[in-house]
Amino acid sequence: MAPDGAPHIRIAGLTKTYGDVVAVDGIDLEVRAGEFFTMLGPSGSGKTTTLRMIAGFEIPDSGVIELAGEDVSRLPPYDRPVNTVFQDYALFPHMTVQQNVEYGLMVKKVRKGERRERAEQALGMVQLTGYGARKPAQLSGGQRQRVALARAIVNRPKVLLLDEPLGALDLKLRQEMQIELKSIQREVGITFVYVTHDQEEALTMSDRVAVFNHGRIEQVGPPADVYEHPQSEFIAGFVGVSNVLERDGRRLTVRPEKINLLEDGREPQPGWHVEPGVIRDVQYVGPVTRYHVTLDRGGELQVLAQNLEEGSSQVLEAKGRRTRVEWRPGQESVIDEEGGTE
């Protein structure tokens, strides 16, 4: 195990090209031991290729991958202390849950008693105690996903790589599994490297997030940093609503829920940034209302307001009205020009 605080995975100058497609374009990355680390980005941004290089299924064109201080870049997958869980978690349909979970240990010739014990322990961790005798077809989608997880955990890898493991589940189950996965990860203390294109999933589960775009990482940080202080226009738009304005020669962005609408002539709070505009459109979304405000100085902002009052659907009448928006200084992020221009 890597000592506390030391990087558990270190990636430097990693590149991979397929023909003339640069899938991964010079990635540097450090993941800490025990961390829930997420690679977030749109389809085709190089997440899976990066994960497959960490796993050993792809050999990099250049660059280095170290696991716990050891250069593993050229080792075959089975010589790396990692395990992978894919979205299409192919369980063996003819085997029981218990046999599925024990399979990896059997291949490694672990003796029967220990196999059984470890498989039962792994099934306990994913809350499937008592399901060992069932066949995969007798389980729900979420349960099958947890068997796949148990099958990986049972090998006691130092690192678990997960590629969109919840992608096949419907929204409700997905949200439940997000909470469970996070708590399983805390309990087993394994380093998780998790791939998703879903920004909410990334923000909910991760200790830190790396945002991928065109084979590069545009920003790395804890979820709240990445969300509240996006460093590029791409991140502002991909990890939320873009809300980008040009002001005094700078490009800046403010999150919709940080902005207040000053309706009914309400006075701004002292020291806050205030701008007049017109409410171009209003959407009632149940818990919140989304206002699209065209500003007199140019640009448009989305503003999100909680529907605290009863009869909130009256908000729709605000369409076309003049208004003012305000936000606390410091709530905006200045987008760096290099990242902000395509």
The distance of closest approach from Cβ of residue 162 to ligand ADP in the complex, given in angstroms and rounded to an integer, is 12
- At residue 12, what are phi and psi to the nearest 5 degrees? -135, 125
How far apart (Å, rounded) are the C-alpha atoms in residues 86 and 93?
16
Provide the terminal-to-terminal Cα distance of the chain, rounded to the nearest Å: 41
* Residue in the shown chain whose Cβ atom is closest to Mg ion: 48
- The answer to whether 56 and 76 have CB atoms below 8 angstroms apart is yes
CB closer to ligand ADP out of 24 and 245: 24
Classify 48 as helix, strand or coil.
helix
Q: Which does 104 bind (CB under 5 to 8 A by kind): Mg ion, ligand ADP, none?
A: none
Token pair of 325, please? Answer: 């928006």
Picked from Mg ion, ligand ADP, none, the partner binding residue 45 (CB below 5 to 8 A depending on kind) is ligand ADP
Helices (H), the chain: 47-55, 97-107, 112-125, 141-153, 171-188, 199-205, 223-228, 233-238, 337-340
Structure tokens at 245: 């304005």
How many of the chain's residues bind Mg ion (CB under 5 A)? 1
Query: For residue 5, what are its two tokens?
Result: 């605080």
In whole angstroms, give the CA distance from residue 15 to residue 150: 32
Query: What's the angle, vertex CA 265, arms to CA 259 and CA 270, rounded to 5?
Result: 55
Q: Which of residues 41-70 bind Mg ion (CB under 5 A)?
A: 48
To ligand ADP, the closest distance from the beta carbon of 234 in angstroms equals 14
Nearer to ligand ADP, 2 or 24 (CB): 24
HSE of 103, CA atoms in CB hemisphere, 13 A: 17
Pick the closer one to ligand ADP by CB: 16 or 255. 16
284 binds, among ligand ADP, Mg ion, none (CB under 5 to 8 A by kind): none
- Quick one: tokens of 269? 């709070």
Q: Which does 100 bind (CB under 5 to 8 A by kind): Mg ion, ligand ADP, none?
A: none
| Residue among 161, 151, 153 nearest 31 (CA) | 161
Q: Which residues bind ligand ADP (CB under 6 A)?
A: 18, 21, 23, 41, 43-49
Q: Which is nearer to Mg ion, 39 or 154 (CB)?
A: 39
CA distance 218 to 228: 15
48 or 232: whose CB is closer to Mg ion? Answer: 48
Using DSSP's 3-state secondary structure scheme, residue 320 falls into coil
Work out how close the CB of 140 gets to Mg ion at its nearest, in angstroms, rounded to a whole number.
25
Closest distance to ligand ADP from the beta carbon of 321 (Å): 43
Distance CA 63, CA 26 (A): 8
- Give 10 or 47: the residue with its C-beta nearer to ligand ADP: 47
Q: Are the C-beta atoms of 275 and 231 separated by less than 8 Å? A: no
Query: Minimum distance from CB of 39 to Mg ion (Å)?
Result: 9
Closest separation in Å from C-beta 219 to ligand ADP: 16
Residue with smaller CB distance to ligand ADP, 45 or 155: 45
Task: Enumerate residues 225-284 that contact Mg ion by CB under 5 A.
Answer: none
Question: Residue 331 binds what, of ligand ADP, Mg ion, none (CB under 5 to 8 Å, by partner type)?
Answer: none
Q: Are 25 and 46 in contact (CB under 8 A)?
A: yes
Residue 44 interacting entry, from ligand ADP, Mg ion, none, C-beta within 5 to 8 Å by type: ligand ADP
At its nearest, how many Å lie between ligand ADP and the CB of residue 87? 11
Q: Which is nearer to ligand ADP, 21 or 107 (CB)?
A: 21
Partner from ligand ADP, Mg ion, none contacting 21, C-beta within 5 to 8 A by type? ligand ADP
Least distance (Å) from Mg ion to the CB of residue 47? 5
Looking only at the bridges linking them, the beta strands covering 159-163 and 191-196 are parallel
Positions that interact with Mg ion (CB under 5 A): 48
